[in-house]
Structure 1
Amino acid sequence: MTYYQEQSPVATGLRGRCPRCGEGHLFDGFLTVKPRCSACGLDLAFADSGDGPAVFVILFAGFIICAMALVVEVRYEPPFWVHAVIFGPLVLAVCLGLLRPMKGLMVALQYRHGAREGRLDSE
């Protein structure tokens, strides 16, 4: 049996690496989690982050971008189309840029804490 040094879930998750070995890639495509790690063979079937990463990204991006839009509105009072041109692409870039690292972090934290799908106890 091979023993692996414990990896930081933050470091491996944000880089999109295997939570056990830190070497293999976690994703197959943009957000699809691979069935298993190519380096250590960890079965990644446990990885189900659900909507968690999207919620965190929306809350973070919404707070930052709304604050920026409010500052721009109060200081410069630009027309609406300027807001759309500036903040529309910014919303897409921030949300898409943060979604994959946040999903990797959620999967790594699930592995670290042994989180699994809820089951009912049979009596």
Structure 2
Amino acid sequence: MEEQVFGGGHQQVDRQARPLWPAIKRGLLGKCPNCGEGKLFASFVKTVERCAVCGEEIFHHRADDLPAYLVVVIVGHIVVGAFMAVEATSSLSTWQHLAIWVPLTIISALALLRPVKGAVVGMQWALYMHGFGGEDDEIKGHPEA
């Protein structure tokens, strides 16, 4: 299989396809994207070094800020839509709105952060990104630089 790599070049890669959606689902559930049995997280959002069941290395994932951005987009759309619907159908005071929407926003964001990070790690595993393919995740400088 020919694959485009960073810099626009192509390389021959002989890899077995990994199932994308099952890996994302396993990550959402906090399980190893490879076997679906081992735990993905050692603490709230810190991943394990490797799966205790199948031995798949997880430590080199690069979820970075993507899970937080996705959670902001998801929670923002839900909370703002719900706020606008409530505002259009009732006449709550500012303090009542604050009492409803601030806790709802915080709880929703905290509840979604871990599953979304797991899904991102599962996606990276399925697509052989950031070390999950056995290669170094290092960007080499331009030869003319």
TM-score normalised by L of structure 2: 0.76
1:32 pairs, out of 46, 51, 72, with 46
Q: Corresponding residue for 2:139?
A: 119
Max radius of gyration: which structure?
Answer: 2
Match of 1:44 among 58, 69, 77: 58
Q: For 1:1-123, what aligned pairs fall within 5 Å after superposition?
A: 8-116=22-130, 117-120=137-140, 123=143
Instruction: Give the letter for the 1:115 counterpart.
Output: M
Bigger share in strand:
2
Q: Distance in 2 between matches of 1:108 and 1:46?
A: 12
Q: Percent identity?
A: 32
Cα distance, 1:17 vs structure 2: 0.6
In the TM superposition, what is the alpha-carbon distance from 1:118 to its structure 2 partner?
4.9
- Report how far residue 33 of structure 1 moved: 0.5
Q: Which has the higher helix share?
A: 1
Deviation at 1:52, TM superposition (A): 0.5
Gaps of 5+ in 2: 1-17, 131-136
Indicate conservation of the 8 Å contact 2:24/2:33, yes or no: no
1:60-110 deviation line (CA, Å, top 9, x unaligned): 110110111111112212110101111111101111111100000000110
Number of matched residues? 118
Alignment check: 8 A CA contact 2:23 2:126 kept: yes
Q: What is the match of residue 3 of structure 1?
A: none
After TM superposition, the runs of 4+ consecutive aligned structure 1 residues lying more than 3 A away are none
Structure 1 CA distance for aligned equivalents of residues 120 and 94 of structure 2: 37
Counterpart of 2:101, as a letter, is F
| Separation of aligned partners in 2, 1:34 and 1:115 | 17
Quote the RMSD (CA, aligned, Å). Answer: 1.5
Q: CA deviation at 1:34?
A: 0.7
Task: Provide the C-alpha distance between the structure 2 equivalents of 1:94 and 1:118, rounded to a whole number of angstroms.
Answer: 35
Task: Please say if residues 26 and 36 of structure 2, whose CA atoms lie closer than 8 Å, have aligned partners that are also in contact.
Answer: yes
After the TM superposition, which of the residue ranges 68-77 and 112-121 deviates more from structure 2?
112-121
